[in-house]
Amino acid sequence: MENNEEYVHIYTGPSIFIKMLQSHLEDVGIYAIIKDTMQSGLRSGFGGGIPGHIQLFIRQNQIKKAQPIIDDALKGIE
């Protein structure tokens, strides 16, 4: 990974949904980054975030490729 790659936040939600979405993205070659602020805060002695909710980030240049996958996944939870 290059240092100049721009990552963007695409979704925050329950960890089980984020892991499913991450798996679907990986199926098409998009490797996402997960950020769990609640767990990070607990490990460092601070609170923060919503328990069980994590953030998903992908590279800026992969948004167009990821959008149909994200839209399809969100239809499944509505």
25-74 pLDDT per residue, tens: 999 999 999 988 644 444 555 555 555 678 999 999 999 999 999 999 88
| DSSP for the chain, written as a single string | --TTPPEEEEEEEEHHHHHHHHHHHHHTT---EEE-HHHHHHHHT---S-TTEEEEEEEGGGHHHHHHHHHHHHHHH-
Q: Integer distance in angstroms from the first to the last C-alpha of the chain?
A: 34
Domain count of the chain?
1
The answer as to whether 46 is a domain residue is yes
Residue 46 sits in a domain whose CATH number is 3.30.70
Res 10 pLDDT > 70: yes
The answer to the question of residue 2 being in a domain is: no
Its domain, for residue 28, covers 7-77
